[in-house]
Structure 1
Amino acid sequence: MQAETIMTAPVIGIVPSASVAEAAQLMLSNRISGLPVIRGDGTLVGIVSEGDFLRRGELGTERKRSRWLEFFVSPGKAADEYVRANGRQVEEVMSDDVITATRDASLAEIVELMARHRIKRIPIVEAGKVVGIIARSDLLRALLPPQSAMAPTFVDDEQIRQTILAELAAQKWVAKDMINVTVDNGVVKLSGAIFDERERQAAIVAAENAAGVKAVKDDLFCADPLSVILVS
């Protein structure tokens, strides 16, 4: 799946010269937590979010330090903090170092960007202009199965069993031939040994994700690796 598939378009944005109050009102009325800052020609110049409004003079929440710590803050940094706490226009408080992606970026790439840069939204840009935006909520919507996938499908027990065995065989946390899988009328029974309790839930999840599974019965036991070696 690519970015274009789940991005929100057209984008709700705001011009650099808009007031901080206008940006706050736009976010509240549209129930969004951030806005790309876009010039009249569609060019992206920054992004403004709820986080940019946390340290504000109106709220009395501007950054305060002890005199001792204030001594180590450069005049430039102090000036920047003052502008962000008291600036009236969006361009004065926005972040201009924006992480963007293209239409054909994969969801894996989008998630990696969000995680690496600790951001909640990524504008999708084409030729320097914003064509869409992906927020975390868009990723949540992508988790929902399409309507066609909601209809029940018949999968016979042996197909289910082979699917689960193949999934387990591909996982490095599964000891070879230690987990047994049987299926009766769509009900999966897991038996055998695991060596870490966390493997129990992982094996159950692997079984639950196989098409046609109605329920999973857990008969796994957690064994000491040394004891299994001695018995074998």
Structure 2
Amino acid sequence: MRAVDIMTRTVITVGPGTTVREAARLLADNHISGAPVVDDEGRLLGMLTEGDLLHRTEIGTEARRRSWWLELFSSTQDLAATYIKENARLVRDVMTPEVITVKETTPVREIADLLERHRIKRVPVLYDGELLGIVSRANLVKALASAPKEAGVKLVAADQSIREAVLGELSGHRWAVPAENVIVNEGTVHLWGVVTSPEQARAMCIAAERVQGVKGVEDHTDAPVMIPAM
């Protein structure tokens, strides 16, 4: 499997001129812990994560002030950077500009190693500097949950062909889940994601069953979580 096989293609992004408050609301509303920062052409500029918003003066979580003698030995650059993180209004000032990225052809094994080694939760997938998608730990977990006990090179190639055919069958239908939620292993199609009705889930199963070579379809979809009003 490669990044393109499991990545999330519909990515929530923010612009460098977005305010920190607006960006925080976007993360909270979409239940995500980070988002790529892109320019008007879709090129990656950095990442904004929960960690970048951890210490803020608005909520009284700014970093504890060091003793005067520790500050004496701290560089003015470090002290200024801390102040910016705690007080800046715009995403461009608080985002992490150095971002670890992968290509669409990067094997998932390498992606897992990157996530573990750098202790990060997601990596953007780029093609010629442009954001194509994102691979998160959740994407890897979905792939693992659908994985066969054994898989050979020929089988993987066949599964990729089946997956492309299933995606073609689902293409153009509003009720279809995004491509990253379709995984094929040993000829069995695994469907993930959130659906709003049993009919939506059944329609996707039928579409997958129509594809030649499909041995079976497993429906892992779920209904949206309803949060009661306070």
Q: TM-score, normalised by structure 1?
A: 0.61
Structure-1 separation of matches of 2:14 and 2:72 = 37
The reply on whether 1:48 has 2:51 as its aligned counterpart is: no
Per the TM alignment, residue 40 of structure 1 is displaced from its structure 2 partner at its CA by 0.9
Q: Secondary structure at the match of 1:132?
A: strand
Per the TM alignment, residue 10 of structure 1 is displaced from its structure 2 partner at its CA by 2.0
Structure-2 separation of matches of 1:60 and 1:82 = 13
Corresponding residue of 1:127: 128
Q: Secondary structure at the match of 2:46?
A: strand
Amino acid at match of 1:37: V
Per the TM alignment, residue 112 of structure 1 is displaced from its structure 2 partner at its CA by 1.1
Corresponding residue of 2:2: 2
Corresponding residue of 1:168: none
Amino acid at match of 2:42: G
Q: TM-score, normalised by structure 2?
A: 0.62
Q: Secondary structure at the match of 1:22?
A: helix
Q: Secondary structure at the match of 1:119?
A: coil
Structure-2 separation of matches of 1:76 and 1:38 = 26
Per the TM alignment, residue 48 of structure 1 is displaced from its structure 2 partner at its CA by 0.3
Structure-2 separation of matches of 1:121 and 1:145 = 20
Structure-2 separation of matches of 1:3 and 1:75 = 41
The reply on whether 1:144 has 2:149 as its aligned counterpart is: no
Structure-1 separation of matches of 2:90 and 2:142 = 33
Per the TM alignment, residue 68 of structure 1 is displaced from its structure 2 partner at its CA by 2.2
How many residue pairs align between the two structures? 148
Structure-1 separation of matches of 2:102 and 2:13 = 17
Q: Which entry has the higher C-alpha Rg, 1 or 2?
A: 1
Q: Can you list the C-alpha shifts for 1:97-118, whole angstroms capped at 9, x where unaligned?
A: 0000000101111011111211
Per the TM alignment, residue 16 of structure 1 is displaced from its structure 2 partner at its CA by 0.5
Corresponding residue of 2:98: 97
Structure-2 separation of matches of 1:144 and 1:115 = 19
> Percent of counterpart pairs with the same letter?
44
Structure-2 separation of matches of 1:114 and 1:72 = 34
Amino acid at match of 2:19: S
Q: Can you list the C-alpha shifts for 1:177-227, whole angstroms capped at 9, x where unaligned?
A: xxxxxxxxxxxxxxxxxxxxxxxxxxxxxxxxxxxxxxxxxxxxxxxxxxx
Structure-2 separation of matches of 1:66 and 1:55 = 18
Corresponding residue of 1:21: 21
Structure-2 separation of matches of 1:26 and 1:89 = 14
The reply on whether 1:114 has 2:107 as its aligned counterpart is: no
Amino acid at match of 2:84: V
Structure-2 separation of matches of 1:68 and 1:58 = 27
Corresponding residue of 2:219: none
Q: Secondary structure at the match of 2:73?
A: coil
Amino acid at match of 2:9: A
Unaligned residue ranges in structure 1 (runs of 5+): 150-232
Per the TM alignment, residue 128 of structure 1 is displaced from its structure 2 partner at its CA by 0.3
Q: Which moved more, 1:115-124 or 1:59-68?
A: 59-68
Structure-1 separation of matches of 2:106 and 2:13 = 21
Q: Secondary structure at the match of 1:123?
A: strand
Higher relative contact order (CA 8 A, sep 6+): 2
Corresponding residue of 1:75: 76
Report runs of 4+ in structure 1 exceeding 3 Å deviation.
Answer: none
* Aligned residues: CA RMSD: 1.4
Q: Can you list the C-alpha shifts for 1:112-171, whole angstroms capped at 9, x where unaligned?
A: 11112111110000010100001111111112227xx7xxxxxxxxxxxxxxxxxxxxxx
Structure-2 separation of matches of 1:117 and 1:4 = 21
Unaligned residue ranges in structure 2 (runs of 5+): 149-230
Structure-2 separation of matches of 1:71 and 1:59 = 27
